[in-house]
Amino acid sequence: MANFVNDPAHGMEIRVGPPLPPISPASQEVTRAVLACLEDGSWARYDPARLERMEIQLAEWLGVGHALLVGSGTLALEVALHAVGVKAGGLVAIPAYDYPGNFHTVHALGAIPLLVDVQADSPQLCPASLEIALEKARKGLGQVQAVVVSHLYGGLANLEAIERICERNNVPWVEDACQCFGATDAQGKRIGTKGMAGIFSFGGGKPVSVGRGGLLVTNQAILRQRAWLRVSRGSALATPSTLQLAALEAQLPSHDRKIKETQQWLEKIVKGSTHAEKGQFSMEISTDRTRQKIMQTAKNPFHFLQNTGPGNPVYYRIAMKIPSGQPSRPVLERSWALGLPMGEGFRAIHVGRAASRFHAGGLLTCAEAAAKELLVLDTTAAQSQPLAIILEGLNTLGRQITPENDPISSDGALTG
């Protein structure tokens, strides 16, 4: 699992942690589709007609008017923001706890990130904090040209409240659904299709993955045209290869089934916990569309944060909140020793960065807490391992960080 730390000496983030965990091999459908390309020679050709057919198929699958395939989710965000009117010097409101590439993408357009706090009980954009940030911008920071709304770790942002706020302030909003391709809201509408534009990622480890790739969707033809012009020089730049298109197409028919299988896998994790009755590792989960809370511990050695509202999320990563005040690194290292494919979550975007590179739309305390307290379980990698190994690892980790076991010494090291 990729874990990143800030490297001030080189002005960049570097990867740390154990090697990437293994994931399941390609399905028979993907294998057949890729082999067919290798055998008929299409793998070595640029096929714009196939690219267009795939875009039409994706738009139909998602229930949206227009789609544009690009090289990554990050590039999809760049062209989406360009399409909705972001220009140099403008402000773009983004969550203060999010994928750092979104911050860099705003700068790539010459705009300035306006950081907005996340919810106290979920790492999703907080509507109340967004309202405060937009008001602060009106009073002197500048014009907010767009809002980016991300859905993280199986959670779904409160789109109804955010949409009302954006409409009231006449600000376009873009959905970042890179982690949750296929998720639906309470009405069954696909997440990522409600904003003026939405983006998805088909990068490594994503729910639908072809190694690299991204998608922009919109119901406005003019936005799709603006986005295409941004990445076109007569022909489209940075698009998925024919091999990637074949692998992508092969995964679509079974994706809804895979979403359900992952939900069932999570239920087995809950039911198979041998320590639930003792209160050391107790979770609850529901797969209907009325869930209000999912996965929390009884005695609070840690708990998993999932969807906090109605909807049908996709579990790319599962966020695990460790007890407040405990250092996350020793807990993470203990999870690796137990064979759990866990990693660090995102860092708070403003921490460690020059204040000249962003505006704070208000207090960012919840984003800071999320950065300190959230670890993430790689769902795809975990599902590739025997269920018994994951269960034993989670139960053992739960015992080790239960407060009465006092597993962390004064110097931050795990004991026992």
User: Residue 304: inside a domain, yes or no?
Assistant: yes
Same domain? 272 vs 196: no
User: Residue 373: inside a domain, yes or no?
Assistant: yes
Q: What is the pLDDT along the chain (416 residues), one digit of tens a residue?
A: 444 445 455 455 544 555 556 667 889 999 999 999 999 999 999 899 999 999 999 999 999 999 999 999 999 999 999 999 999 999 999 999 999 999 999 999 999 999 999 999 889 999 999 999 999 999 999 999 999 999 999 888 999 999 999 999 999 999 999 999 999 988 899 999 999 999 999 998 899 999 999 999 999 999 999 999 999 988 888 999 999 999 999 999 999 999 989 888 887 876 665 443 333 333 333 333 323 333 333 333 445 555 545 678 898 888 888 877 778 888 899 999 999 999 999 999 999 999 999 999 999 999 999 999 999 999 988 998 999 999 889 888 888 876 555 444 333 333 33
Same domain? 235 vs 270: no
Q: d(Cα 366, Cα 348) in Å, to the nearest integer?
A: 9
Element spanning 337, H or E:
helix 328-337
Same domain? 229 vs 275: no
Q: What is the CATH number of the domain that holds 196?
A: 3.40.640.10
| Owning domain of residue 324 | 255-405
User: Residue 1: inside a domain, yes or no?
Assistant: no
How far the first Cα of the chain sits from its last, in Å, is 25
CA angle 56, 61, 66 (to 5 degrees): 40
Q: Compute CA distances 290 → 199, 307, 330, 409, whole Å.
A: 26, 10, 36, 41
Same domain? 317 vs 378: yes
User: Residue 413: inside a domain, yes or no?
Assistant: no
Single residue among 252, 285, 317 that ends a domain in this structure: 252
Q: Mean pLDDT, the chain, as a whole number?
A: 84
User: Residue 232: inside a domain, yes or no?
Assistant: yes
User: Residue 5: inside a domain, yes or no?
Assistant: no
Same domain? 245 vs 264: no
Same domain? 156 vs 53: yes
Phi and psi angles of residue 78, each rounded to the nearest 5 degrees, phi first: -60, -50
Whether the CB-CB separation of 394 and 342 falls below 8 Å is answered with no
Same domain? 95 vs 211: yes
Phi and psi angles of residue 115, each rounded to the nearest 5 degrees, phi first: -85, 135
User: What pLDDT digit, counting tens, does each position of 319-336 carry?
Assistant: 888 877 778 888 899 999
Same domain? 284 vs 217: no
Whether the CB-CB separation of 328 and 372 falls below 8 Å is answered with yes
Q: What is the CATH number of the domain that holds 303?
A: 3.90.1150.10
User: What pLDDT digit, counting tens, does each position of 71-97 carry?
Assistant: 999 999 999 999 999 999 999 999 999
Q: How many domains does the chain have?
A: 2
Same domain? 245 vs 331: no
Single residue among 210, 231, 252 that ends a domain in this structure: 252
Same domain? 162 vs 268: no
Whether the CB-CB separation of 169 and 115 falls below 8 Å is answered with no
Q: Compute CA distances 192 → 41, 53, 223, 317, 390, whole Å.
A: 35, 20, 15, 17, 31
Same domain? 179 vs 75: yes
User: Residue 415: inside a domain, yes or no?
Assistant: no
Single residue among 203, 236, 252 that ends a domain in this structure: 252
User: Residue 237: inside a domain, yes or no?
Assistant: yes
Q: d(Cα 313, Cα 151) in Å, to the nearest integer?
A: 9
Same domain? 327 vs 188: no
Q: d(Cα 199, Cα 218) in Å, to the nearest integer?
A: 9
Element spanning 147, H or E:
strand 144-150
